[in-house]
Amino acid sequence: MTIVAIDLDDMEPVAAVCDATHLSVTLASGQIVKTPPWWYPRLRDATNAQRGKVELTAFGVHWPELDEDLSIEGMLSGLKAPNAVPPEGWTP
């Protein structure tokens, strides 16, 4: 059995950018986590200005104006909002 040690400091977000097509979060390790905003309807439906008002937390990202909080762990696990619906024509 292989055990992978993960330094939690490496998972801390250092930058986040969200537009109509991608949410990109850069971690302290240099890795970039990308997810589509349709996974999170509040982000999908937000204006670019609202998406731009993001705060970084120790383990995730927060949009105070949208009352949206996402954890890095959830993003890496592929967790979507229960009411997330892919846009028409979307293919994985």
Domain residue limits, the chain: 11-77
Whether 3 has a pLDDT exceeding 80, the answer reads no
Residues 9-64 pLDDT 10s? 678 999 999 998 999 999 999 999 999 999 999 999 999 999 999 999 999 999 99
pTM: 0.85
**Three-class secondary structure of residue 31 per DSSP:** coil
CATH class of 11-77: alpha beta
Yes or no: say if 30 and 80 are a contact pair by the CB < 8 Å rule: no
DSSP state of 8: G
